[in-house]
């Protein structure tokens, strides 16, 4: 990646648990090919794993596939996962709550890296979960 250049890739994955490893490997391979540092590649891979798992476990009935979006420039790596299920996920409030652990893990990974995350509804239903990680 040249200085100042922004690169991106979008791919779809079937909303099934057995597809999670291929989504993670593709995301990690893409980011590594762009010259993203190993720690950020690892963190982004964990985030893709959690978000695609969440789609497979909680949204597959209404979203048979998920879209993974990756982007990078010299300052940020962006990881986003989109599904068409209308319910917005919520991170658990405390470690003892039921459900919401995956999104909480994503939130903590982003914060630990000095990044940020958001859950954004999309027109017509569905949502994007977007994570920005500093390079």
Q: Note down the domain range covering 39.
A: 16-134
Whether the model clears a pTM of 0.85, i.e. scores above it, the answer is yes
* Residue in the structure block whose two tokens are 């903590």: 108
Q: Report the 10 Å Cβ neighbour count for 46.
A: 16
Whether 79 contacts 69, CB under 8 Å: yes
Q: What is the CA radius of gyration of the chain?
A: 14
pLDDT digits (tens, 9 = 90+) for 103-119: 889 999 999 999 999 99
Per-residue confidence band for 92, with pLDDT thresholds at 50, 70 and 90: low
Is 9 a domain residue? no
The pLDDT value given to residue 96: 59
The pLDDT value given to residue 124: 83
- Which CATH number goes with the domain that contains 74? 3.30.565.10
CA-based nearest residue to 52, from 44, 114, 135 = 44
pLDDT digits (tens, 9 = 90+) for 23-40: 999 999 999 999 999 999
Is 107 a domain residue? yes
Is 75 a domain residue? yes
Whether 54 contacts 14, CB under 8 Å: no
Is 7 a domain residue? no
Is 3 a domain residue? no
CA torsion 54-64-25-99 (nearest 10°) is 10
| Domains in the chain, number | 1
Is 122 a domain residue? yes
Is 5 a domain residue? no
pLDDT digits (tens, 9 = 90+) for 33-79: 999 999 999 999 999 999 999 999 999 999 999 999 999 999 999 99
Can you name the residues that pair with 79 across neighbouring β-strands? Answer: 70, 131
State yes or no: pLDDT of 125 exceeds 90: no
């Amino acid at each position: 990646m040249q200085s100042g250049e922004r690169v991106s890739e979008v791919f779809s994955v079937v909303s099934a648990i057995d597809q999670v490893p291929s989504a993670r490997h593709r995301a990690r391979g893409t980011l590594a090919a762009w010259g993203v540092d190993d720690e950020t590649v690892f963190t982004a891979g964990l985030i893709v794993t959690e978000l695609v798992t969440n789609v497979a476990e909680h949204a597959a009935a209404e979203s048979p596939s998920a879209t993974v979006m990756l982007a990078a420039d010299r300052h940020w790596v962006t990881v986003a996962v989109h599904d068409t299920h209308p319910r917005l996920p919520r991170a658990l409030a405390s470690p003892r709550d039921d459900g919401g652990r995956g999104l909480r893990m994503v939130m903590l990974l982003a914060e630990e890296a000095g990044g940020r995350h958001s859950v954004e509804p999309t027109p017509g239903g569905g949502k994007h979960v977007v994570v920005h990680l500093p390079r």
